[in-house]
Every structure is written in C-alpha cells, then in structure tokens.
Amino acid sequence: MFRSIQGKLVVVYLLLIVVAMELASLYLLRELERSYIGKVQDDLHQSAQLLAGQLSNFIRNDRLDPEAVDQYMERWPGEVLVLDANGVVIGATARLPNRDELLGLKFNHDDVSPAFFGNINRRTGMEGAQRMAYEAVPITVADNVIGVIYLKDSLEEAYARLRDLRDILLVATLVAMASTVVLGFALARTITGPIRELTRTAAQIAGGNFDQQIQVRSSDEIGQLAEMFNRMSRQLKETMSEIQDEKSQAEAILTHMADGLMALNASGRIIRLNPAAQRMFQVAELQAIGRRPGELAEDSGLEEALSEAWDQSSALTRQIRLKDRVLQAYITPLKSDGRQPAGTVIVFHDITELEKLESLRREFVANVSHELKTPLTTVKSYVETLLDGAAEDPEVRDRFLRVVDGETERMTRLVRDLLRLTHMDEGTSRWTIAPQDVGELVAEAAGRLRVQAERKRLAVACEVDPETPAALCDYDKIQQVVINLLANAIEFTPNGGRIQISVAPAGDEVQVAIQDTGIGIPAEDLPRIFERFYRVDKARSRSMGGTGLGLSIAKQIVELSGGSISIESEVDRGTTVTFTLPAAGAREVSGA
C-alpha cells in the first residue's frame, strides 16, 4: 500500500488527523490536569487560610493553646496537622488514621520547613499508590511564626476525570481515523487511476516501444502530462538512432583515455567524469555529477584557474595539486552566443611521477654538490699550499695531510651512507632476520663509542629490563642504528654531560630509548629532523663531521625492521630518541 500514491495519500491524511487529534488532546489534557490540580491546591489554600483565622482565637500569650486547638481540630474535615512553633503536633483531624500517635510528636518533614520561615509551601507527590496535594501555611502573630498548618488532599478524583476524558478523546480519534481512511481511498482513486495508465505506457516507451500513445481524457495537469508523453515518444523515436551512434563513439574514446576528462555545464557544475578522472579524484561519477570541481579538489587552485579561463574566454594550462598527486590541467571553455561559456572541458594529465623524479634529482644534486664542495675546496687549498712549498716544513706538512685525510674520510662516509640508502631504497640490502638480544646489542654499540664518550667526560649508563624479550631484527643493521643515535648524542652533548640508554618491553615490541643532556633541537626543526641532508645547525654539524644522513638511515632501517622511531627534544635541556622493534614471534618485518 505504501508504494502507491493512493496508499501514501491515505496515510498522509491519516497522519494529519492523528497528529491534529493528538496535539489537541495533549493540550486539552494538560490544561485540564493543570486546572484540576490547581483547583485542589486552591481549595487546600482556602481551607488553610480559613483554619488559620479560626485558630487565631486559641492564641494565649503569643502561643497556641494545645488543648483548645486539639479539640477544635478533631471536628475539622480533611487531613490536617497543626504544629506549634517548635514543630510539635498539637492538633490533628479525625480523618488521619494515626492521629493519636502523632499528637505530641515533633513533626520533621521537608514540606513544613519553609513554613517556619514564613513561606507557604505547596507541592504534589505520591503517598503509597495515591497522588496527593500538600500545603504548609505559617500561623503568624506580629510577623512571628507561632505555628504551622499542614494539609493534604487526594488527587485521585481529578485524575479519574482525566482518564474518562482521555477515553472519550481516544474514541473520537478512532472514529476520525476510520472516516479519513474511507474518504482518503475514495479521493486517491480519482488521481491514481490515470497515473497508473501513464505509468504502464511510460514503461513501454522506456523499453524502446516509441509507437505507444497515451489517451488524453482530461485537460488538467494529468492530461497535460499525457500530451507531453506523446510528444516525447515522437521526438525520441526520431533522434535515438543518431544519439546511439554518437554515444558509442564518445564512450569508447572517453573510457580508454589515459588522461582524465571532466565536462562542466554553463553553471560550472560537473556533468561528466571519465574513468581516468574518477581514479585521479577518487570519486565515482555519480557522486561527482552536479558538484563543482573545487569540491573534489579543495585548495588545489582549480576553481581559480576555471574563473580565469571563463573571464578570458580562452584555453589555458595550469598545474594543480590533488592531495599527493600533481596534475597538469588543460582548461578549454566552450564558446556560446552569450557572454558566459556554454560549458567547459578540462583534461588532466598526471605528472606526479615526473615531478617527484625531477624534485629528487634537483634535491640530490644540490645536496651532494653542497656536501662535497666544502671538503673538496679544503683539500684543494691545502694541496695547493703544500705544492707551493709548505711541504718543506714537516710540521705544517703533517698537519695539512691530517686535514686532507679527515676531509677524504668525510667524503668516503658520505658516499658510503648514500650507497647504503640507495640499497635500501632499491630493496637490494641483505637482511639477516633472527631473534636478537637487544640489551647485548646496545651494550656492544656503547662499547664501541666508549673512547669518544670518555674524551668528553660523558657518563653513559645502560639500563636493560630483565623482562625484555628478544627482538626480531638484523643485528648489524640495528647496531648501526644505535651507533648513529649514540654518536649524535655524544657529539651534541657538552663535556661532563650524561647519556642514558634504556631497553624495555612495550606490548608486543621492544623499546630502546637514548636520552642525553645535550644542546637540544628547536621545536620548528623536529618535523624535518629525519629528512636526508637536513641539519639543525648546518655549520656546526659539518664541523663535527656529520653527513646529515645518519637519522635518515636510522629511520629507514627501523621502519624496514617493522618498528617505528620518534624524537623528543627541548633546547638546552636534551634530546630523547625512541625506537621500537617487533618482539620475536610478534609479527614479520618488511626487510625480510
């Protein structure tokens, strides 16, 4: 029923009636409930005021006479307590079942507390299974409270009336719903009959039978729709063959294009996206239709390029960045008689790999040239000095040759590090993966650098948690990581400093941390610290013999071993480098 217009119309009418009746019923019941409860509370208040006036006749020396009050209250209707200034019950009506027990007792209740301060307190609540109304009213003499009247009355009669009214409203709602269903079906049938005929004929036309004609029975909106169907059938029959041929040719071209193609309408919204463009923008064509190109490529500059092409009404080429891709966009507005283009065609050529290769080439050449320039210049100047006669002085000759030897060793280390990175990038490095004792590995690495540490009077401590499991890694490569990190800590820690090495388990991994009290690294340099050839203090790093590749090599080895590496540092407070390795049996590593 809900799939047809007839059923939907009936349901809509039914819901309207139900909503209207429910809203009216809720409003009426709420107002009546407020009125009934308010009347009960008003009656309680009037009774309290009347009783307060009567009890004023029993005031002796600014106090209520307990005996007189009790005799008077025994004949008072309802359920009422009278308390003196101390909260003791001095009077109670006969309707209270525990009247005799309450007399003379101190009545401590939250309802009467405000009344002792001169305030009238009223509320409703449950007493057992009954809903009750309560009110506490002060008895005052010269603005002094000398007693309190505490009244209560049942609300069950009021709620019984509300239940009766609710039943009446429910019956009225059901009658209205039944009437709506009957009238709704009768009205909906006059609309859905012609629509069903239109639907059947339209289905045949959609199936390719364009000879179908719909009989026009009226001149209203449905009749106009039938005439439009007949007109559509004739036009489709005339143009379908031409469109089919052109569509087949265009589909073949667009589907097999290596470049992405995007077609926009006059409003700048996407009307077509070929498979190559869908892959570039990582979106299905149906999801892209109707959207603007800038929504698929935010902050890429594509919208600005489109605006420029439309303003100039000429083709232009722009390079855009799409997440991690670089695309060359060829934008061609389609001419029209008006001032605005009738549409736009954009062809995207992916040049990401070319850009990466070009960037890597430029960066590599610049970095290597920069790294080799200083030592080569030094070697050349010292050799020229020796050739000019300085070699005759043994002391000068030996000092110059030591400098040349140091610079040559520095260039050798640079070439060796570059070869190591190249082998890892190409995946040609040899790995011997096996369970290794990381504590022993770290201790051996620290031993190799003991002389350098003692020369600077550095205290090097190594702490290994006895619960640390073996790590799955290549012993030599991970030892190279520790040596690189420890060498950095020694180089950049002032004389008399301290270096702490700790090895401990971390879940299914083994964690190694190297902490020093060195000069630290500025916060702005930390995000780039693992980049190749990146140095915080370039002049100082070169003077210490660094190549700028140590941290890059360490990071690549750790990640290929299936671990991770991070660094924390604060200027003049020291640096902590932490890396993890998979525990033996936890998981396989990519280097294997």
Q: Identify the CATH number of the domain in which residue 321 sits.
A: 3.30.450.20
- The answer as to whether 587 is a domain residue is no
User: What confidence tier does 557 reach under pLDDT thresholds 50, 70, 90?
Assistant: confident
Q: Same structural domain for residues 251 and 265? A: no
- The answer as to whether 365 is a domain residue is yes
- The answer as to whether 93 is a domain residue is yes
pLDDT at 77: 82
406/515: higher pLDDT: 515
Residues 188, 10 contacting (CB under 8 angstroms): yes
**Per-residue buried b or exposed e for 541-579, using 16+ beta carbons within 10 Å of the residue's own CB:** bbeeebbbbbbbbbbbbbbbbbbebebebeeeebbbbbb
pLDDT tens figures, 519-529: 988 888 888 78
Query: Residue 546: pLDDT above 60?
Result: no
Query: Residue 591: pLDDT above 50?
Result: no
Q: Same structural domain for residues 151 and 132? A: yes
- The answer as to whether 132 is a domain residue is yes
**Per-residue buried b or exposed e for 69-108, using 16+ beta carbons within 10 Å of the residue's own CB:** bbebbeebeebbbbbbbebbbbbbbeebeebeebbeeebe
d(CA 326, CA 348) in angstroms, rounded, equals 10
pLDDT at 586: 57
55/335: higher pLDDT: 55
The CATH code of the domain that includes 450 is 3.30.565.10
The CATH code of the domain that includes 398 is 1.10.287.130
Q: Same structural domain for residues 33 and 104? A: yes
Question: Mean of the pLDDT values across residues 222-226?
Answer: 73
pLDDT averaged over every residue in the chain = 79
Q: Output the DSSP codes for 36-73.
A: HHHHHHHHHHHHHHHHHHHHGGGEETTEE-HHHHHHHH
Query: Residue 503: pLDDT above 80?
Result: yes
Q: Same structural domain for residues 419 and 447? A: no
The one-letter amino acid code at 342 reads A
Question: Mean of the pLDDT values across residues 325-353?
Answer: 79
Question: Mean of the pLDDT values across residues 401-406?
Answer: 74
Total domains, the chain: 5
Q: Last residue of a domain, which of 377, 406, 424?
A: 424
pLDDT at 577: 93
**Which residue from 550, 561, 559 is spatially nearest to 431, judged by alpha carbons?**
561
Question: Which of 191-200, 312-321, 371-380: highest mean pLDDT?
Answer: 312-321
Question: Mean of the pLDDT values across residues 325-331?
Answer: 84
User: What confidence tier does 539 reach under pLDDT thresholds 50, 70, 90?
Assistant: very low
Angle 290-292-296 (CA atoms, 0-180°, nearest 5)? 105
% of residues, the chain, pLDDT over 70: 83
All residues at 6 or more sequence positions from 240 whose CB lies less than 8 Å from its CB, including other chains: 210
d(CA 559, CA 578) in angstroms, rounded, equals 13
> Residue 363 sits in which domain range?
356-424
Here the contacts of 159-164 (C-beta below 8 Å, separation 24 or greater) are: 159/33, 159/36, 159/131, 161/32, 161/36, 162/29, 162/32, 162/33, 162/36
Query: Residue 29: pLDDT above 90?
Result: no
Q: Same structural domain for residues 472 and 564? A: yes
192/307: higher pLDDT: 307
**Which residue from 80, 28, 79 is spatially nearest to 52, judged by alpha carbons?**
80
Q: Same structural domain for residues 249 and 263? A: no
Lowest mean pLDDT among 428-432, 453-457, 546-550, 567-571: 546-550
Q: Same structural domain for residues 219 and 80? A: no
Query: Residue 357: pLDDT above 90?
Result: no
Q: Same structural domain for residues 549 and 539? A: yes
Lowest mean pLDDT among 310-319, 497-506, 511-520: 310-319
Query: Residue 303: pLDDT above 50?
Result: yes
User: What confidence tier does 321 reach under pLDDT thresholds 50, 70, 90?
Assistant: confident
Question: Mean of the pLDDT values across residues 538-564?
Answer: 70
Beta pairing partners, 350: 327
- The answer as to whether 170 is a domain residue is no
pLDDT tens figures, 249-258: 877 777 778 7
Q: Same structural domain for residues 250 and 263? A: no
Q: Same structural domain for residues 18 and 139? A: yes
The structure's pTM equals 0.40
User: What confidence tier does 576 reach under pLDDT thresholds 50, 70, 90?
Assistant: very high
User: What confidence tier does 592 reach under pLDDT thresholds 50, 70, 90?
Assistant: very low
Q: Same structural domain for residues 365 and 497? A: no
- The answer as to whether 591 is a domain residue is no
pLDDT at 404: 74
Question: Which of 118-127, 136-145, 237-246, 507-516: highest mean pLDDT?
Answer: 507-516
Q: Same structural domain for residues 118 and 217? A: no
Containing 279, the helix (H) or strand (E) segment is: helix 275-281
- The answer as to whether 504 is a domain residue is yes
Pull the structure tokens for residue 333: 């507005």
79/583: higher pLDDT: 583
Query: Residue 436: pLDDT above 50?
Result: yes
- The answer as to whether 185 is a domain residue is no
Q: Last residue of a domain, which of 424, 444, 461?
A: 424
442: helix, strand or coil? helix
Q: Last residue of a domain, which of 424, 456, 473?
A: 424
Question: Mean of the pLDDT values across residues 223-231?
Answer: 75
Please count the residues of the chain.
Answer: 592
